[in-house]
Structure 1
Amino acid sequence: MDKEILYQKFNYILDKNLIDEISEVGIFKSFSKDDIIIDINQPMLHIPLLLSGNIKILREDDEGNDLLIYFLEAGETCTMSLTCCMGTSKSKIRAVAEQDSTLIMIPVQKMQEWFHINESWRNFILESYQTRFDEMLDAIDSIAFLKMDERLYKYLVNKAMLNDSDTILIKHQDIAEDLHSSRVVISRLLKQLENEKKIQLGRNKIKILPT
C-alpha cells in the first residue's frame, strides 16, 4: 500500500526508474499526530519524503520555545533537513506530525548520488528549495510586518487550506505555541476575530467563515 502511495504522489515528479529505486532503498514509516519525526540535534542519516498527512517544521529559541516555520504536505520534502544532510550535520529543526502521516526515509548517500545523476531528482530538490525559501520569507514578513491578529488569521486560513476543510480542530494553547505567543493573547484575539465575523469558535475547533 505504501509503495502504491509513493507512485501516486511522485509519478509526475520523478521518473519511474528512480521511484522504483526509492521504494527499494527507502524505509517506510508511519507516525501518529504529534509524534516527533525529526528532532533538533538529531544526526541526519535519512531525508523524509511525505506520502500522506501533514508535518509542521519548527525552530527552537534559546529558552526552548518552538516557532512555526512552515508546513509540509504529501508529495513534499523538508529542505532544511536536506541542507543538514548535504553538510552531514545535525538537524537544526524539529518536524512534528500535524496529522497521522506516512513517510519514506531515504539514505543520505542516495540523495547526494541522485542529485548528480538524475535530472528529475535534481529538479525536485531545487524546486523544493525555492518553495521552502519563499515560505520562510513569508514567515519572516508575517513576524516583521503583520500585527498578531493578522498573523493569527493568516495562520488559521493556511491550516484550513492545508486540511482541505473550513473547520480546524485545535486548542488555543497549540496555536499559541505555533505562533510563539501566550494562550491568553490568542484566546483574546480569537474572540476579536469572531466578533469581526471572520471565524466561529467552538470547543477545541474553529470554523473559517466566508468573506
Structure 2
Amino acid sequence: NKALQLHYGSTFEPALIKEIQQVATFMEVLEGQDLLKPGQFIKSMPLLLSGSIKIMRPDADGEELLLYHLEKGDTCAMTMTCCMGNTKSEIHAVSETPAKLLMIPIGKMEEWSRKYKTWRNFVFESYHKRMMEMLESIDNIAFNNMDERLEKLIADKTQILNSKHIYTTHKEISQDLHTSRVVVSRLLKKMENDNKIRLHRSFIEVL
C-alpha cells in the first residue's frame, strides 16, 4: 500500500487507489524471470512498483529486439493493447532486475476508463511514452551505427540500474541489439581502448 501511494498517489484519485488495492495481485520477481511470452493470452496488466522490465519483440527466426524498458510508475502499452483486443501477446517481457508489480485484472481497464479521468489519462500517456520510445528505437536501428547503439544501450542500463557497474554478458547485449556476440565483443574492446568503459570478468564498469 505504501509503494502504491508513493508511485501512484499523485496520479490517481483516492477512490481509484482504493479499488486498485482491492483487486490487484502483488507479484515479486527475480532478475531474468519471464513475465510474458509471445503467444500467451493476457489476463492482467502490470503496474511496476520497483525494478526494471525489458520488453522485446521476436522475429520470425526467434531472435529478439529490445523495444523499451519499463521502470517504476510505468505500465506496458503493448500489454494494454493485447488486453483490449483479447489477442495473444506479440512481445516477450523479462525482468532485467528484481522487480515488484501490481497485476490488474484486464476486466477493470474498460470500467476504470469510464469511471476515472486519471486512469484514462494514465493509459493515453503510457501509449504516448511507449510510442516515443519505440520510434527512438526505430531511429536508432535505422540511422545509428552499431557502436552508437551499443553506447546508448550501456548509457540506458547505467541510468536504469543507477550504477556504473553493469552485470551482463556479451551474449545478452548482442541479443538486445540483434547482432552477433563477436561484434559486441569487438566494439566493447574498442570502447575500453577509448577509456569509456573497463571490462571485468563478470561486469562492465562505465568510466
TM-score by length of 2: 0.97
DSSP 3-state at the match of 1:156:
helix
Match of residue 21 from structure 1:
19
Q: Which of 113, 117, 120 does residue 119 from structure 1 map onto?
A: 117
Match of residue 162 from structure 1:
160
DSSP 3-state at the match of 2:67:
strand
RMSD of the TM alignment (CA)?
A: 0.9
DSSP 3-state at the match of 1:165:
coil
Runs of 4+ in 1 over 3 A off after TM superposition: none
**Conserved 8 A contact 1:172-1:204:** no
Match of residue 196 from structure 1:
194
Shift of 1:115: 1.1
DSSP 3-state at the match of 2:10:
coil
Which runs of 5 or more structure 2 residues have no equivalent in the other structure? none
Residues of 1 paired with 2:19 and 2:88: CA distance?
26
Shift of 1:84: 0.7
Match of residue 81 from structure 2:
83
Amino acid at match of 1:90: K
Q: Which of 127, 130, 135 does residue 129 from structure 1 map onto?
A: 127
Match of residue 7 from structure 2:
9
Residues of 2 paired with 1:162 and 1:16: CA distance?
29
Match of residue 44 from structure 2:
46
Paired residues in the alignment total 207
Amino acid at match of 2:10: Y
Shift of 1:204: 2.1
Shift of 1:190: 0.2
Which runs of 5 or more structure 1 residues have no equivalent in the other structure? none
Q: Bigger CA drift: 133-142 or 83-92? A: 83-92
Structure 1, residues 69-100: CA drift from partner, whole Å, max 9, x if none? 00000110000000111111111111101011
Residues of 2 paired with 1:95 and 1:206: CA distance?
24
What are the residue-to-residue correspondences of 1:174-193 with 2, within 5 Å? 174-193=172-191
TM-score by length of 1: 0.96
Shift of 1:102: 1.1
Residues of 2 paired with 1:207 and 1:32: CA distance?
23
Residues of 2 paired with 1:40 and 1:23: CA distance?
29
Q: Bigger CA drift: 4-13 or 76-85? A: 4-13
Q: Which of 121, 140, 143 does residue 141 from structure 2 map onto?
A: 143
Amino acid at match of 1:47: M
Amino acid at match of 1:18: L
Residues of 2 paired with 1:27 and 1:66: CA distance?
29
Q: Which of 148, 153, 164 does residue 151 from structure 2 map onto?
A: 153
Q: Which of 96, 99, 104 does residue 98 from structure 1 map onto?
A: 96
